[in-house]
Every structure is written in structure tokens, then in C-alpha cells.
Structure 1
Amino acid sequence: MSSAFAALRNLFLRPWLLAALAASASAILLLIASIGLAMHQVQQSEREQMNAKGERFLERLEQIFGQLREGVDQLQAQPLRGCSPQMLAALQQVGFNNRFVFEAAYIDGETRCSNRLGEHSTEPVRPPDIQGPTYSYWLNTSTEPNDNLAALMLGRGHFRISTSRGHLSDVVDLPPGGSLLVVLDNGMRAVPVLGPAQAWPPTPDWSLDVANSMWELPDHLIYRMPTKSPDYQLVLITPRASLPLKMNGVIWLLFPGSLLLAWCIGWLVLQLVRQRQSMSSELQGALRRGELQVLYQPILELNSRRCVGAEALVRWRHPDGTLTSPDLFIPLAENTGQIRQITDFVLQRVLEQLGQLLRANPQLYISINLAACDVMVPRIGRVAARLLALHHVAASQIAFEVTERGLIDVVVARDNLQALRSVGHQVLIDDFGTGYCSLAYLQTLPVDCLKIDKAFIDALGHDAASSGVAPHIIRMAHALQLRVIAEGIEYEDQALLLNSEGVNYGQGWLFAHPLSARQFAELVTRGRRRGPRRIDDEA
């Protein structure tokens, strides 16, 4: 299993492969997202166009029905009957006065006359589609696609007034297959006014009582227009066959843009992987060339200001004197597995540089940071045992610092830390309060000391929300009978306040900057406080 994982890991460390995978995945995701967005925009545009058409139709229909009612009321109110010249003049006058009146006619048995001189008036032979108390309505009185034929007819008494199909179709051109329907019989029957007949009802759950005016079906859009009459509803229905055609044009715009952006993402991934591998190779070379060095941050007793130990810090100094921040190369080393070599290097360098000092001062200790990979396996214990035996240094003088974030599996970590502690090593929790280690877990871990993160030390004496964290950690550590080390002390009042809170140990620039091995040995052997010194001041 491990060999398969290693082969897979090596495969994915190839820059071109990673770049190609990133570009391919980006292209697919971008195309899917772009097509989805384009479809949403096309559908939104389609809905807006449908709403606009429906509103224009409704406005025109209200005007038409208003004029038809006004005309037929005017004819019904006048006393003339029969087809006298005066009646023809009255019918013609109604046609002249109302823009949307196509034909005004008088019908009484065999007696017929119309304002359309010389033309036979149109009378539907079927019963009215809508029979109201005052008016009768005939819908789609002619199915021929001719704008100069009647489409709607209104009747009252012996008078009939109709409008032509052209008066409706000049507002909005219906697409092929689209229809303007009048829905009757409580939504169970639909009569086309414009366009072909449609299958009705469109869906099994169709109802005139629904609140939404727009219905979206896979192949049709249905727009329901409210009317003042409870006897009928107006419905505009159009096919959605235009959607794929619109999408074809949009895709041709999205396709090259998505590919170009995916290529840019692949190129960036390639550069990042190469840079990462380049730094990884440089780090490996730095280990071989001895460019890594170990400095020591003294840990002092706050009461006496006596040095009791130090934290070993690794620095990468290039031949030209420039430094690479540990924040850059330590995470890289953890991800590539090189952190184990660095930890072994630090442990070996500490014992080589300070072995004599540690043997001469049995109470002095040096703490070394452990990465998560070394917390989860017992490897470092064997390495430390071999080096300690070689340099004749007691295990109690080498402490190991672990962070809360390094405790991935608390049960496994507890067993490995207990193995280190059982041979005499001290175990410290570094940057306590910044991770996720609960009190319940802390009680079960084999720990000797908590180190309070600098962020909480800086908040002491201020009104910041985190100003009470440090005192809380101190009280918790005392309850668990653990020692406390405050990190990042820069001012005397911080040291005094911490000491008054029961913190016995601290480290920070107030006491000393990171020191070389020779400077740290001088600090211990002379037994005096060292003034602040930067690493650039080393001899």
C-alpha cells in the first residue's frame, strides 16, 4: 500500500502532469459553469421577452374589447333596425370611430348588412364560446392565416362587431408554433385566438388559481394573463425551440474564453510546482552544504533572570548572507518529508555544539520542535537515544516541543509522547491556545509544560478580547500541575505581570534575541543576563 501511495505521489509531483490535470479540470469546470450561466441568462431573457409580449397582448386586448363593447352598445342603443341606408351609415360610423373595429354588422334572420360594403358579413354558425348576461363572444371565427379576416367577435342583440387578426398580430409576432389562447370552462378548454390549437391542459396539475403567471415546461413557456372576467383567462404559449439555437452561438463565445483561462491556470500551476520543486531542491542542497544553522532562544527564570534552557531554532542563511524565513521553508519541508532530515540535523547540531555545556550543567535543557510526522511515529526516540549515547548527554536535557495542530490523532500521539517521556525527555505544548486541543485531551497527554503564544502575551494589559486568555491558561496549567513558559516577552512590565500571575519562566527579546552556540554558552557560564542581540550581530 505504501509503495502504491509513493508511486502515486511521485506521479503527481510531475509538473507537466499536474499542470495538464489542473488545466483540464479548470476547462471542464469553467465550461460547465459558463454554459450554466449562459443558459440561465438565455432563459431569463426568454422569460423577460415572454412577459413583455404578454403585457403588450393584454394591453391591446383590453383596448380591443373596450372598443368592441363601446361600438355594440352604441348600435344597440340607437333605434334603427333593419338594413336601411341609415343603418348602413350607423354601422360605417362605428367602424370609422373605432380603430380596432374590423366589421360592424346587423343580423336578423335572413336580413344582413355590414359596414364592409359589397362583402358578405361573417356570422359564426356555432354557438358563442362565451355567453354572458349582456354580451356573446365568438373566438377564432376564422382559422385562415389572413390578417384581414375576423378573429374575435362580440355580439349583443342583432348586432355583431369583430376585430381582425391583424389588429392582434401587429403587436407581437408569435414564433412558429406559438398561440394566444382563451381558456374557458374553469381552465379545462382552450380556444386559440391566434396560432394553432394546443394540447390542453398543458400539465396534469394545471390550475387557473396558481399565483405565478409564468410556467416553464421543458418544451414550452406559458404566460397566464389575468383578466377582469372570471369566465375566461388569456394564455400565451410559445415553444422553446429557440433555446438550443441561442446556446450554440453562446457556446462559440464561451469555448475559447474558457480554454484560454484554463491554459492560464495550468501555466500558473506549472510555475508554482516548479518553484516548489526548485525550493525543495535548494533546501536539500542547503542541508548538504551546511547552509542551515541552529540558533538558541534563551529561556529564563523570571524571578532570578537565570537561564535554565533554550529553544533551538533553525535558520537558512544563504552564502550571500540573505536569510529565508522559516515560515517559507518549514511548511515546505513538512509537505515534502524533508522535515525529518531537518529535525535530525538540529538534534545532532545541538549535541555537537552544546554537548559539553549540557554535561557541565545537568539542570540545563534544550527544547527541539517536532513536526506532526514525528509526533505520530516513534522514529525520533530512536534517533535521540543514539545521539545522546554518543555525546553522553542525559535524556532529561533534551525536551521536545509539539504544537496542538500537530496532534492529528491524539491517541497515537499520546502513546509516542509517553514513550519519549518514559526515557526522561520533557514534553512541551508550543503556542498553546492557538490550536484545537481541548482540556479533556490535555488531561490525558503526557505533558510537562505549556508555552503561551506571543499573541496572548501582547494582549496583556489591553482591552483586547484575548487579554484574558493568558491568565486562563496559567490557571489551567497550575490546576494540572504543569509549568508555564511565556513566549515573546518584549517589555519589563509584561515580565512583572506574568510573574505576578504565577508564570516562572519566559523567553523573548526582553532577555535576548536568538544567540549562536558560543553566545549562549557565554550567557550560561557567566551566569548573567544577556543584553538584546540580533542574529546579524553574531561573531
Structure 2
Amino acid sequence: MKRRLLIVLAVLLVLAVTLVPAALGFYLTLRTSAAREHARLGVYADAAMLRVELVSGQFSHALLDMQQLTTPPCSPEHIASVRAIAFRNRYVQDAGVYDKAGNWLCSSLAGVVPPGAVHMAEPEWTGLDGMRAWLLTPRLLGAVRPMLVIGQAGNYVAIDPLSLVDVIDARDDGIAVFNTDTGRLVAANSVADPRLMMRVYQQGRAELEMKRIYAIRRSQVWPLAVVVSEPRQRLAEVWRNSIWGWLGAGLLIGGCFAFLVIRSARYRLSIEGELEAAIRRREIAVQYQPIVELATRRCVGAEALARWHHRGTAISPDIFIELAERHGLIQSITDLVLDRVIAELGGFLRSHPDCYVSINVSAVDLTSRRFLDYLGQRLNGTGIEPAQIRIEATERGFVDAQAAVQVIQAFREAGHPVYIDDFGTGYSSLSYLQTLPVDALKIDKSFVDTIGYEAASSSVAPHIIGLAQTLGLDVVAEGVEHEEQAAYLYESGARFAQGWLFSPALSAEAFMRFVEAGPPGSVTARSTGTGKPGRGQDEPPPGVPSSARSRA
């Protein structure tokens, strides 16, 4: 009897050990597959919302530029300026002026509009700041599709609503955009079912819809919401692809470990969990954006840029860096970037003492000596000079100005020059420059892009260069893409620049080859043609203290 009981108990135990993990594996497959696909759809929804805010920001900037025009409305000079504004903003198809009755007076496409030719009825939406919106269904001025018209203070811009949902995706994902004030559909791509999208948006969920799954995102800036969807059968495809792995893991690991998998799966499937795992596995790569001397095109250094490829897809630094800052991972990324610079370029920097690499630091590392101490430990015994590792800090890192001044001064005393990155995009640039002991300013790409245009910000770059010269600081221009920009910056007194005109961001091997190849010649110095000199070529490279520039 006891033997039979032992056999029965043994069989039951074997069955339990075999079947329970299998059942748990089956269950985990369903849960994790759904979570994984919902996470992917959420990333796609975030990308769709970024697109909506990009297009919305362009028509807002265009209206602001039009309001600053001083020429008489609809005069030839005014129409030419409006056309230039529409040309600079790629998503703006038309721009012009309308009167209080809603009649178009002039257009960047049609010039002066005959009286009463185009009339806009009451707007579908009116904002608190006087901004209005019309969805004009007639094919105005030869438009192929209805136009979304945004007006403010008598000026209007017209865009194709489909530009709001023009997010590239190889699969059949639907996108729809709604106005959160009126609840009306603004735009939808060809895959979206507007009726179902409207119901999902109004209910905030989609339990009754069985054929597709949905994600909703609401803008924090504009009264707009995005709804995205994908076929529900894609969940079955993900489930079939992963079931055998989970079942095998369940049988091997056992029931006791299944509970730990449930607890960890939720975090691991989130994007911040994936980023933390990538940092832990040291999967963050580094590329090097060359910095050249404008007069000679000689490469003097590079900016180290973090790169993350997640499941074969390159994640934008704007996304994962902001995510790292929000979840306390940014210091680990900064340390990892430094480690990769030393490992990949250590020998090269020792043999090229006039070459440097700049590393971006976050706001949290401007409040303590943590990174400075780590930097000193890692450089110890490498033969790399402190001046060859330079520090870049954005203006938003100066929230605690008093602490930032002390930390920046400590970096400079240790021999590391300090740059202010994206200068001009913050809110207190001039006041900070009076107290921050920095060595150079980096002109943000947004100001370089406006060089040669009649934009309100086109004169910012020379003003920054003049300010830097007055304070004895060097200037590095970011995002230089055209020879005309390089020539203009050189004439204005800038010595250094980086951008696609010279080279894209490179791997360590490609960067070393780029430096070894040498400059193509003093292209900028020959092409200016004005006789207006830049800085002398015998001046020290940016960040090396001199009697004229040291502000310690």
C-alpha cells in the first residue's frame, strides 16, 4: 500500500513538475506577447504624436514670422516675404492674408486674390490666443485634397492634413488625429477606419472592437490627440513565434521561477527596462562627429555621440536620452560613453595630442564632482592629456547655477575645457555667461539653418560669435550642411564647425581615418571673397587657456 501510494505521489509530482511549468509557460507567452505588441504600438503612437507636434510647430512658427512682417499687406514685397516663409516651412503649402469677413486677400501661391474668390465661413475651432482652424473641403487654388487652414491675426497658413499622419511604417497601422476641443476628426491615413477611430477616441478604450488593437496619445502642447491601431491577428503571430521558447524555459526552470518571470517581465518589456538592460550589457555604442577648423578644414577633434540600436532599429537619441534622464540612467550612459572613448580612441589620442573628444554631461553631473572623479580615475595611467577630454553642457543643466559654477570650475582646474552646448536655446544665456567659467560656445543648429534666409533668427549666429569674441571665448558652429553657411560663419569670426558638410558621425575606425587623411585645403578661406578675415590660424585650439581667454 505504501509502495503504491509512493508511486502515485511520485507520478503526481512528476506530472505537476512537468505540466505546471508548461501551463505557466503557455500563460506567460500570451501575457508577454500582448505586452510586447502593445509596447511596440505605444512606441509607434509616440512617433505619430511627434509628427503631429512637428507639423503643428511649423505652422505656428510660420504665423509668428508673418506677424513680424512690416511691409504693407499684399504688397509685392509682402507677398515675396510670405512666399519665403512658406518655402522655409516644408509642411506649409500656402500662406497669405484674409480680412475680418473671412475673404482671402492674397496668397503665396496665387498672389493677390480677386475679391470674394475664396471665402472662409465660421471656423471649426478657435483657440484662446485667437488662433483659428478651418478644414476647407473645396479644392482651392488647385489643391488636390482639402486643406487645413490655420489663421491668426489676419494671417493664414494652409497645410495638407495628411502631413499630420505621414508616419512611415511598413505594416498596416492606422493613424487618426482628433481635435480635443471639438472632438472632430482632423486627419486619417488610408488604413484607418474613421468611424472606429472616433469611437475609440471618445471612449478612451476599445474593448468592444475585436479586429484591431489601439493606442491613444494626447499632445501636451496642442489640442490634438492621436489614435493608432494595428490588426489583432498580429498578436497571434507574435504568440506563435515565442511559444516554444517560453514552454521550454518553463519546463527547465520550474514552477518556482515562473513567479519571478511574471514580476520581471512587466518591467523588462517597458522601454525603460530595455534601455537599462542595454546599458547593463554595454550595448550603447558611440559615434564621433568631427569638428574642423574652418580656415583649413583640419579636423581638431570630435563630439562623442551615444547611439542605441534596439532589436535592429536605431532609437533616436532625443528619445532615449530624455528617457534616461527621466529614469535616472543618464549618468550610467555618460560613464559608458567615456569608457568607450578611452577603449576605442585611447591609443589614437596618445599619438595625436592636438586632437580631442568632447563628452556631453547631464544636468545632474553639474551639481556634484561625481563624473569629474570618475573621469580622473579612468584617465589615470592612460597617457591621455586632460585637455583631450572636453566637457559639453547644455544651458538647461544650469538650473542650480551656483553648483554648476563650482563644478565647471573644478573641471577646468583639472585641465578639461568646458563648452556650452546648443547655446542660445536656453532662457538665461547672457546672465549665465557672466558667472560661468567656460571656454567655448556651440551655436545650435537651428540658428545655423537660418543663415541666408530672411528669418527672425537669421542674425542670431553672428551675434553669438560677436558675444563670444567679446568674452574671449571660442565658437563651434553645429549642423553646418552647406558651403555658404561655412563661408558666412568664417567671415563672421567663427573658427570651428561640425556638420554633414564636413562629415557625418563616424565610427572610431572611420574617424581615425578621417583625421589621418588630413584637410582637403583651406576651402572656406578661399571661398569668402570679401577680404573679411576670420581668427588667425596661429591661435590656440578651443578650450586651451590663454591670457586672452582664461576666465577662471
- Bigger Rg over Cα: 1
Q: Which has the higher contact order (CA 8 A, sep 6+)?
A: 2
- TM class by shorter-chain length? 0.3 to 0.5
Q: Give me the TM-score of the superposition, normalised by structure 2.
A: 0.46
Q: Give me the TM-score of the superposition, normalised by structure 1.
A: 0.47
